[in-house]
Amino acid sequence: MSAYSHPLARYNTFASAGSDGTVSIWDHKVKKRLRQYPKYTGPIPSVALNCDGTRLAVGVSYTWDEGEEGAKNAERPAVWVHRTGDEVKVSECAVWWVMHGTKVRCFEASTGLES
């Protein structure tokens, strides 16, 4: 599973995705899914929101869940970019290392500068 977050003190939203091909936008404060995108044809190893939260990039590619044999039938990797709606409101963006639960970098949404 991968997650991209800009936990926003103000809006509390983040995006998650996984090997089942689903991508969702969540509000972590109320523990509620705000939006789920149509299912992709392959695993999603990476998602990211742009600095102002108006676009969501979704990386679709084989994740080696089925080993070398699965790679033979895997579709070509692709990146899809979607417009987001009001479910994603951004005051700051943060890049998180999900495995360790630590924030790596933080950016101001209005300027794009690292804060």
The whole model's pTM is what?
A: 0.66
Dig out the tokens for 33 from the structure. 């899914």
For residues 23-32, average pLDDT: 84
pLDDT recorded at residue 112: 58
Tokens, residue 100 = 């360790």
Task: Give the pLDDT confidence of 40-84 residue by residue, as tens digits.
Answer: 988 998 898 887 778 889 999 988 888 888 888 888 899 999 888
pLDDT of 8 strictly over 50: no
Spatial separation of the C-alpha atoms in residues 4 and 47, rounded to whole Å: 6
